[in-house]
A and B are shown apart, each in its own frame.
Chain A
Amino acid sequence: MDKQDKQDKRDSQGSQHAQGPQHTQGSQDPRDARQEPRESDARPVLEGPDIARVLTRIAHEIVERAKGADDVVLLGIPTRGVFLGRRLAAKLEQITDRKIPVGSLDITMYRDDLRMHPPRALARTEIPGDGIDGKLVVLVDDVLFSGRTIRAALDALNDIGRPRAVQLAVLVDRGHRELPIRADYVGKNLPTSLRETVKVQLAEEDGRDTVLLGVKQTAPGAQH
């Protein structure tokens, strides 16, 4: 029971990653409705201005730790990590006055739960022109939860090149790690229970910036 519960939580997070914006038919797919968490009384824990401030702080932290961010490459994990990556890059460019390479890294094909669901739509992997060899890659994602997405991202990176180092920036860390993975830059630590859902909405995709904390309803149709 407990294991199943965890699995469902992970799905609700994963479904955010699974749909690239270009796959318009995804919204008509009844399977997506099944994976989408049902929320009641979701309350915002971060609003638009908070998110902007958080990203500014993370940008400064990256510059500080990388001593100028000379060789930083930002790779966002679709869908929302990509938008966060682009926003971070814009902030970094303001701070350093230099162009910061930014791209996206789709981890769908590297997931460890592929066989538990119908095949997911793929999103775009876009590696900046100079590649990642010898660079400091900062992975950017919206929510850090089980850590499995990041494990998959590390595997995917392995097939693309050999960075000097890999760091992780997330907007929200909600705990409940299932793998020995931690974030280097955290927007907000959000202690949650497994019965709660965390949903990040960004203007590029959802029309507004917010992080919603809700309670998951156990829907009879949600079991696989």
Chain B
Amino acid sequence: MQRHLISAADLSRDDAVHVLDTAEEMARVADRPIKKLPTLRGRTIVNLFFEDSTRTRISFEAAEKRLSADVINFSAKGSSVSKGESLKDTAQTLEAMGVDAVVIRHGASGAPYRLATSGWIDAAVINAGDGTHQHPTQALLDAFTMRRRLVGRDTGLGRDLSGKRITIVGDVLHSRVARSNVDLLHTLGAEVTLVAPPTLVPVGVETWPCEVSYDLDSTLPKSDAVMMLRVQRERMNAAFFPTEREYSRRYGLDGDRMARMPEHAIVMHPGPMVRGMEITAAVADSDRCTVVEQVANGVSIRMAVLYLLLGGNEPAVAHARTTEEK
């Protein structure tokens, strides 16, 4: 029996809505004096981070601890990986220690899929971001934030995002957040438009279930949510645009542009933000910007995912790709 969350594309509409509904109940735990549930007592979860991360790792750790799981943190720096150990050997070490789930972030696209399907380990694998491929829990928390803001906290229960127009702006080429969001938002019935300079639009984007535009100003008035992406310098090995100033003027979100968005529209950012580059401080600090809310929602979503994958004797969320192989 496989039980993994590798890609947002593996979630059906019903599975995704189920995760969002579960997260809505999990969010209420945060309002209680004792923010802890006994549900995953005695289960061991390893956070296997081969790439730097603050938000995602802390968020997963908080979610795991709120569900009473035993948490082991592993970062590649200062581990045997820096001595040359392979992913396989690391995985088998964890398996030997009796780990129930592995939350993995890796610089190589496909590493979590390899871990889940290679037979190296029995544990559930949750993708916390792999290369430029997928970051499914981020897409879920983004969808959760949109549903809360655009549909409503209680009225949103059981509902998807059908008819909502979402615009994703910036470095789509290097962004696993954009890929996951396009997959999930499409599944949930939203209409996604990607806006980026032509050099930062990936090859093959025409097969994605979304529109592509190069003009931010014409897209903004037709958006219910605008998601700004960070320009990922660490993944860039060429010049994709002439100057930061030019990028910022054409694709950055400032107060003037925000004013052109519909009244109810929200501004999202997966973080970390680079103020002055893709988003101005005025926009980042405005109450239409949901960055902080997204972080809080991230814990609820990750609690929901962990509960649905590990809370019973089999997962409540089917994983299409790996179950087919069984």
Contact = CB atoms under 8 A, between A and B. Distances in A.
B158 A109 contact: no
Nearest to B26: A122
Chain A interface size, under 10 / 10 to 19 / 20 to 34 / 35 or more: 20 to 34
A31 to B, nearest CB: 9
Given A118-B315, A119-B311, A121-B18, A25 B25 contact: no
Contact of B39 (A22, A114, A160, A224): A114
Given A109-B39, A159-B34, A159-B36, A118 B158 contact: no
A55 to B, nearest CB: 27
A117 B307 CA distance: 12
Contacts of B22: 121-122
| Chain A interface, DSSP helix/strand/loop, else mixed | loop
B25 A122 contact: yes
Nearest to B38: A110
A119 B308 contact: yes
A99 to B, nearest CB: 22
B158 A114 contact: no
Given A109-B39, A159-B32, A160-B34, A22 B312 contact: no
Given A155-B38, A160-B32, A22 B158 contact: yes
B273 interface: no
Interface in B287-305: none
A120 interface: yes
A51 B320 CA distance: 46
B123 to A, nearest CB: 15
B89 interface: no
B82 interface: no
Interface in B304-321: 307-308, 311-316
In this complex, which of A118, A160, A161 has the most chain B Cβ atoms within 10 angstroms of its Cβ?
Answer: A118
Contacts, number: 67
A106 interface: yes
A116 interface: yes
Contacts of B313: 115-118, 224
Contacts of B307: 109, 119, 122
Nearest to A127: B32
B264 interface: no
A115 B312 contact: yes
Contacts of A121: 18, 21-22
Contact of B18 (A25, A123, A159): A25
A119 to B, nearest CB: 4
Contacts of A24: 158
Interface string B124-164: 00000000000000000000000000000000011000000
Given A110-B37, A155-B38, A117 B312 contact: yes
Contacts of A161: 33
B85 interface: no
A155 B39 CA distance: 12
B25 A124 contact: yes
20 contacts: A23-B21, A24-B158, A109-B38, A110-B39, A114-B39, A114-B312, A115-B312, A115-B313, A116-B312, A118-B312, A118-B316, A119-B307, A119-B308, A122-B22, A124-B25, A124-B28, A125-B25, A155-B38, A159-B36, A161-B33
Interface of B: 14, 17-18, 21-22, 25-26, 28, 32-34, 36-39, 157-158, 307-308, 311-316
Given A23-B157, A110-B39, A119-B312, 15 more contacts: A22-B157, A23-B21, A28-B14, A109-B37, A109-B307, A110-B38, A116-B312, A118-B314, A118-B316, A121-B21, A122-B22, A122-B307, A159-B32, A159-B36, A161-B33
